[in-house]
């Protein structure tokens, strides 16, 4: 008999909920090394949440043709003059692309190619961002409240964090005279 069933996982409002949703939390201590003035992160602040990611990963990692879906909630704040931001990464399978879209709050998507050329795209509720392969991506929260954004990427993309951990991005998003600037 043909049945109509409820989906197991739901994207409701700003939250991704369901039995198959994976949740990770990154504290300021976890991502300390990405900030220029990381000596400003006190022992107490190190336990503070920087961002949380909820992901629906319905295929085995590495499956060609599959898709993953995630919601990132990035807290507001500064480390020195640098906005709270995600670690940032290239994809391990270098040619794979990704979509990001803004859900709440204001941010900047920082994109860097393999030659180190940088550009920033304003992120806001409804903004849509295509991230081609071979482009590193990181998001900074430039508002006073939580920035939420969605992501959809191939299940065979993988993540390469090493290049960014070793070399960083070639520019940092800093609050200068009250405004975000890539420096
Ligand atoms: C995965 C996608 C996002 C990020 C998340 C956290 O390809 O780009 O779900 O994982 O925004 O960023 P990061 O750089 O710490 O993975
Ligand atoms: Zn990605």
Looking from the CA of residue 157, the nearest atom of ligand 1 is 7
User: Would you say the CB of residue 84 lies under 6 angstroms from ligand 1?
Assistant: no
**Chain segment 94-127, per-residue pLDDT in tens:** 999 999 999 999 999 999 999 999 999 999 999 9
State yes or no: pLDDT of 178 exceeds 80.
yes
Q: How confident is the model at residue 1 (pLDDT cuts 50, 70, 90)?
A: confident
Domain at 9-182: CATH code: 2.60.120.10
Taking the centre of ligand 2 as the mean of its atom positions, its distance from the CA of residue 172, in whole angstroms, is 19
User: Would you say the CB of residue 88 lies under 6 angstroms from ligand 1?
Assistant: yes
Nearest CA to ligand 1 atom 7: 153
Q: What pLDDT score does 150 carry? A: 98
User: Would you say the CB of residue 70 lies under 6 angstroms from ligand 1?
Assistant: yes
- Distance in angstroms (rounded) separating the CA atoms of residues 118 and 84: 18
Looking from the CA of residue 138, the nearest atom of ligand 1 is 14
Q: How confident is the model at residue 14 (pLDDT cuts 50, 70, 90)?
A: confident
**Chain segment 17-55, per-residue pLDDT in tens:** 999 999 999 999 999 999 999 999 999 999 999 999 999
Residue 12 has which token pair? 């409701």
Q: What percent of the chain has pLDDT over 90?
A: 97
Strands (E), the chain: 9-12, 15-18, 21-27, 49-56, 67-74, 78-79, 82-83, 98-104, 107-112, 118-123, 128-131, 136-141, 147-154, 173-176, 179-182
Mean pLDDT, rounded, for 55-81: 98
């Amino acid at each position: 008999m043909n049945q109509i069933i409820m989906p197991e996982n739901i994207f409701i409002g700003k939250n991704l909920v369901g039995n198959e949703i994976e949740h990770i939390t990154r504290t300021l201590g976890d991502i300390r090394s990405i900030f220029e003035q990381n000596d400003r992160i006190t022992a107490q602040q190190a336990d503070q949440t920087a961002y949380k990611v909820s992901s629906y990963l319905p295929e085995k990692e590495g499956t060609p043709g599959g898709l993953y879906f995630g919601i990132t909630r990035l807290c507001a704040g500064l480390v020195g003059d640098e906005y709270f931001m995600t670690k940032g990464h290239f994809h391990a399978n270098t040619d794979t692309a990704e979509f990001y879209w803004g859900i709440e709050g204001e941010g900047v998507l920082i994109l860097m190619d393999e030659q180190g050329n940088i550009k920033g795209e304003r992120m806001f509720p409804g903004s849509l961002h295509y991230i081609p392969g071979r482009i590193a991506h990181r998001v900074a929260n430039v508002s006073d409240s939580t920035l939420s954004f969605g992501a959809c990427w191939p299940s065979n993309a993988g993540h390469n964090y090493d290049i960014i951990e070793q070399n960083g991005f070639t520019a940092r998003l800093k609050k200068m005279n009250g405004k975000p600037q890539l420096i």
